């Protein structure tokens, strides 16, 4: 009887494989094959010069070499990182503040549902439409300029789109606006997981709210904080829609807001497959390293739970 | 969410400092909310104004040209209604396939015992963070090779393999899918596929709803990959049309129409969000994050 049951279980467990088929097949076709193809292309010279097609010729690592010696890559990486940091710092400060208030029992804030709904809203807006909206609002003849002039702050329109600081600032601001609500909710989940006894004990010992925040909340929040930071960094490396639409793909002024993915997009459109491949592989390695850190911090114990 | 697990009994507190801190919190929250909503307010106002009125500077009150602006974009050179329909088709089918098959994948890992299961689970988690952009080159080559340019298939079918949705489903399943129910159904002689469809999927409905919303929104907003696949005007999705609007010589446009088109692509999502906000904000943390 026991043996029959075992055989039955083995037959049932075959369904485990069957149910995995759709995922595996789609993954292989639409992710793995493209990935291999991308890496393969990175070793070939393959582009159009005018009407003439050059390649594909195998050239080893030459695409990688020209990627690094050209200097563009470093500049676009810098642009991407500057805009990410400019957006992330206010994002994390606001999120920490709001999540600490939302989860603080002694404050007993009312209307939390309303505030959470509002701060999460920008995250769901179509990024390209949002960027287009900002482009029209901050245009030379747009409403922001006319408001500032009506208020007497400016005497003539400020050209937001032709200054390095204002374009990067706008990109950073939009990223911050779109993501701080999401971050707040993630941090809240982390804060609500911290035992109430710790807070009570600290209060009994006469700790101030600031002390409680830095000595209890922050250290215990560390894993989720690292998760938020690195996933945001990975998202930052993928920055595309906002600067692409805002600057119409040029990254102006002087390519100071050109991001890595915009650079990739340019190569894809001009059909320079060799360079696009090499750039993709670099991005893959970079995100791979960062993902590994996230994996170690958050996911490894999930795997352990599976028998 | 919203309610906390600290003790809620009245505690002796230094009332004045709490009052001050609460006041500061409210002021900041109101300011932050204004910062979130301000842009959409201007968008709404400007979408109701004519090009001439827009040239005369900003006002705080709406005008009466909304109908005319909308009529103009519907009859204009960019087929926005078609674009919205295309976006909706792609997003809805992606959401459907993604949630159903992610539930199936999670079910496989959660319920069955087989060789290599742990490795597959680890593998799916490991690829979770790999962005689609880095495989875009090979993806475009593949799509061209299969003759699937200007087709929605390469935008819909890949959502079957969605590691993040899978992970959420797996987390939710751990606490919401009693194995005893499945065993009972087996004794009744139901087949495994039938058990999955009639017992597991209905039990997973709340998680499916949340993830369907997120997949829908992600697909609805997606610009990078669709812009590489869709080239024909009547196949383009809304984000591509917005980019088209941006790259056109926009000063020649009737600005009322420009605002109306942005409003057309933003406000439907806001309205749906306000209706579903309880699910969305609550569902965000229900399974996606570990403590």
Instruction: Decide if A26 and B104 are in contact by the 8 Å CB cutoff.
Output: no
Which of B122, A188, A175 minimizes the C-alpha distance to A167?
Answer: A175
A54 beta partners: A47
Tell me how crowded residue B132 is: count the other CB atoms within 10 A of its CB.
15
Partners of A241 on chain B (C-beta within 8 Å) are 221, 223-224, 239
Q: Is the pLDDT of residue B165 over 60?
A: yes
Residue B18 confidence class, pLDDT cut points 50, 70, 90: confident
More confident residue, A59 or B287: A59
Residue A304 has pLDDT above 90, yes or no: no
B2-11, B59-68, B92-101, B253-262: least confident range: B2-11
**CA A41 to chain CA centroid, nearest Å:** 26
Tell whether the model's pLDDT for residue A8 goes beyond 50: yes
**Nearest residue, CB atoms, B142 vs list A9, A37, A119:** A37
Q: Distances in Å between the alpha carbon of A47 and those of A39, A274, B47, B172?
A: 16, 7, 44, 48
Mean pLDDT of chain B: 87
Closest partner residue to B108 (CB to CB) among A9, A20, A284 is A20
φ and ψ of B245, to 5 deg: -60, -40
DSSP alpha helix (H) spans, A46-163: 62-69, 72-103, 112-124, 127-137, 143-150
Best mutation target, B88, B133, B288, to test chain A (most A CBs within 10 A): B133
Q: Which of A9-13, A54-58, B173-177 holds the top average pLDDT?
A: B173-177
What pLDDT does residue B278 have?
75
Q: Are A199 and A212 in contact (CB under 8 A)?
A: yes
Mean pLDDT of all residues in B145-156: 95
**Alpha-carbon span B234 to A204, nearest angstrom:** 67
**B207 in Cβ contact with B286 (< 8 Å):** yes
What is the C-alpha separation between B190 and B112, in angstroms, rounded? 16
**Contacts B114 to A, Cβ<8 Å:** 13-14, 16-17
pLDDT of residue A298: 66
> CB B39 to CB A134 under 8 A?
yes
Q: What pLDDT band is residue B257 in, cutting at 50, 70 and 90?
A: confident
A53's enclosing H/E stretch is strand A52-58
Q: Give the CA distances from residue A306 to residues A111, A139, B113, B122, B171, in Å, rounded to whole numbers and listed in that order.
A: 40, 54, 10, 10, 11
The CA distance from A178 to B200, in Å, is 35
Gap between the Cα atoms of A262 and A246, Å rounded: 12
Contact yes or no for B215/B162 (Cβ under 8 A): yes
DSSP H or E segment with residue B31: helix B15-47
Using the Cα atoms of residue B208, residue B209, residue B211 and residue B216 in order, give the sign of their dihedral.
positive
| For residues A74-99, average pLDDT | 94
CA distance A114 to A124: 16
Contact by Cβ (8 Å): A35, A280: no
pLDDT value of residue B4:
45
pLDDT at B1 over 60: no
Q: pLDDT tier at B9 (50, 70, 90 boundaries)?
A: very low
Q: In the beta sheet, which residues pair with residue A48?
A: A53
Quick one: closest CA in B to A281, which residue? B134
Higher pLDDT, B6 or A8: A8
Query: Please, how many CA atoms are within 13 Å of residue B145, restricted to the half-sphere of its CB?
Result: 11
Dist CA A120 CA A126 (whole Å): 13
Q: How far apart are CA B163 and CA B152, in angstroms?
A: 21
Percent of all residues in chain B with a pLDDT value above 90, rounded to a whole number: 56
pLDDT over 50 at B2, yes or no:
no
Asked if residue A300 has pLDDT above 80, the reply is: no
Instruction: Report yes or no: A167 and A106 within 8 Å, Cβ to Cβ.
Output: no
Task: Say if residues A233 and A77 touch (Cβ distance below 8 Å).
Answer: no
pLDDT digits (tens, 9 = 90+) for A191-229: 888 888 888 888 888 888 888 888 888 888 888 888 888
Contact A131, A174 (CB under 8 A): yes
Inform me whether the pLDDT recorded for B37 exceeds 90.
yes
Average the pLDDT over each of A18-22, A26-30, A45-49, B39-43 and give the range with the smallest value. Answer: A45-49
Give the per-residue pLDDT at A218. 86
The predicted pLDDT at position B232 comes to: 93
DSSP label at residue A298: I
Q: Calculate the CA dihedral of residues B142, B148, B153, B154 and round it to 10 degrees.
A: 30
- Is B111 in Cβ contact with A143 (below 8 Å)? no
Please give the residue that has the higher pLDDT: either A123 or A291: A123
Asked if residue A60 has a cis previous peptide bond (ω within 30° of 0), the answer is no
Note whether B32 contacts A119, CB cutoff 8 Å: yes
Residue extents of the structural domains in chain B: 15-72, 78-247
ipTM: 0.86
The fraction of chain B above a pLDDT of 70, given in percent, is: 90
Tell me if residue A52 falls in helix, strand or coil: strand
User: How do residues A225-276 score in pLDDT, each as one tens digit?
Assistant: 888 888 899 899 999 999 999 999 888 888 999 999 999 999 999 889 999 9
With CB atoms and an 8 Å threshold, state whether A199 touches B224. Answer: no
Q: Do B270 and A288 touch (CB under 8 A)?
A: no
CA distance A178 to A129: 13
Q: How would you classify residue A72: left for phi > 0, otherwise alpha for psi between -120 and 50, otherwise beta?
A: alpha
- The chain B residue lying nearest A284, using CA atoms, is B134
Tens of pLDDT along B77-132? 889 999 999 999 999 999 999 999 999 999 999 999 998 999 999 899 888 878 88
Q: Which of A30, A273, A303 sits opposite B137 (nearest CB)?
A: A273
Instruction: Kindly report the backbone phi and psi dihedral angles of residue A256, in degrees, each rounded to the nearest multiple of 5, phi listed first.
Output: -80, -10
Q: Which residues are B113's β-sheet partners?
A: none
pLDDT given at position A303? 63
What value does the mean pLDDT take over residues B205-210?
89
A155, pLDDT greater than 80: yes
Identify which has the larger pLDDT, A292 or A303: A292
Classify domain B78-247 at the CATH superfamily level: MetI-like (1.10.3720.10)
Q: Confidence band (pLDDT; 50, 70, 90) for A31?
A: very high
Q: What kind and span of H or E run contains A56? A: strand A52-58
Cα–Cα dist A237/A84, whole Å: 8
What average pLDDT does the structure give for chain A? 88
Q: Determine the Cα angle at B136 with ends B133 and B141, to 5°.
A: 180
Cβ atoms B266, A125 nearer than 8 A: yes
């Amino acid at each position: 009887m026991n043996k029959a049951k075992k055989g039955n279980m083995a037959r049932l467990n075959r369904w485990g494989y069957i149910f995995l088929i759709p995922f595996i097949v789609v993954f292989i076709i639409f992710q793995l094959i493209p990935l291999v193809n991308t890496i393969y292309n990175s070793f070939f010279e393959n582009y159009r010069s005018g009407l003439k097609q050059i390649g594909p010729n195998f050239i080893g690592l030459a695409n990688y070499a020209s990627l690094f010696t050209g200097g563009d890559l470093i500049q676009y990486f810098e642009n991407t990182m500057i805009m990410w940091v400019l957006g992330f710092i206010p994002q994390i400060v606001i999120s920490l503040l709001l999540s600490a208030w939302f989860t603080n029992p002694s404050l007993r804030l009312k209307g939390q549902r309303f505030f959470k709904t509002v701060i999460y809203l920008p995250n769901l807006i179509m990024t390209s439409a949002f960027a287009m909206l900002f482009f029209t609002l901050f245009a030379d003849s747009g409403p922001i300029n006319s408001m500032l002039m009506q208020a007497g702050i400016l005497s003539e329109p400020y050209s937001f789109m032709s200054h390095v600081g204002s374009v990067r600032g706008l990109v950073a601001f939009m990223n911050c606006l779109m993501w701080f609500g999401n971050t707040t909710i993630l941090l809240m989940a982390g804060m609500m997981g911290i035992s109430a006894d710790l807070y009570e004990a600290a209060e009994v010992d006469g700790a101030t709210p600031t002390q409680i925040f830095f000595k209890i909340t922050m250290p215990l929040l560390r894993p989720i904080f690292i998760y938020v930071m690195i996933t945001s960094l990975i998202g930052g490396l993928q920055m595309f829609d906002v600067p692409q639409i805002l600057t119409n793909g040029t990254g102006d002024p002087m390519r100071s807001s050109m991001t890595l993915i915009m650079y990739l997009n340019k190569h894809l459109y001009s059909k320079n497959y060799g360079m696009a491949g090499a750039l993709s592989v670099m991005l893959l390695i970079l995100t791979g390293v960062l993902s590994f850190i996230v994996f170690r911090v958050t996911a490894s114990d999930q795997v352990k739970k599976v028998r | 969410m919203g309610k906390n697990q600290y003790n809620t009994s009245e505690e002796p507190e230094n009332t004045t400092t709490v009052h001050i801190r609460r006041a500061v919190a409210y002021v900041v929250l109101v300011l932050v909310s204004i910062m979130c909503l301000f842009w959409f307010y201007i968008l709404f106002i400007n979408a109701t104004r004519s090009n001439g009125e827009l040239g005369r500077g900003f006002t705080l009150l709406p005008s009466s040209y909304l109908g005319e602006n909308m009529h103009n974009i519907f009859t204009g050179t960019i087929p926005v209604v078609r674009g919205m329909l295309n976006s909706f088709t792609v997003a809805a089918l992606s959401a459907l396939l993604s949630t159903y098959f992610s539930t199936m994948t999670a079910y496989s890992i959660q319920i069955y015992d087989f060789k290599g299961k742990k490795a597959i689970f680890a593998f799916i988690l490991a690829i979770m963070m790999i962005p689609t952009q880095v495989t875009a080159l090979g993806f475009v080559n593949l799509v061209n090779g299969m003759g699937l340019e200007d087709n929605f298939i390469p935008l819909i079918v890949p959502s079957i393999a969605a590691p993040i949705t899978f992970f959420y489903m797996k987390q939710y399943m751990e606490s919401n899918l009693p194995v005893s129910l499945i065993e009972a159904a087996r004794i009744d002689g139901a087949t495994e596929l039938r058990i999955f469809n009639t017992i597991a999927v209905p039990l997973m409905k709340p998680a499916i709803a949340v993830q369907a919303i997120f997949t829908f929104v992600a697909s609805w907003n997606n610009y990078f990959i669709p812009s590489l696949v869709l080239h024909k005007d009547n196949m383009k999705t809304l984000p591509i049309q917005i980019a088209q609007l941006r790259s056109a010589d926009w000063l020649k446009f009737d600005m009322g129409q420009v605002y109306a088109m942005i409003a057309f692509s933003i406000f439907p999502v806001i309205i749906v969000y306000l209706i579903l906000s309880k699910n969305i904000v609550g569902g965000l943390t229900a399974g996606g994050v570990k403590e």
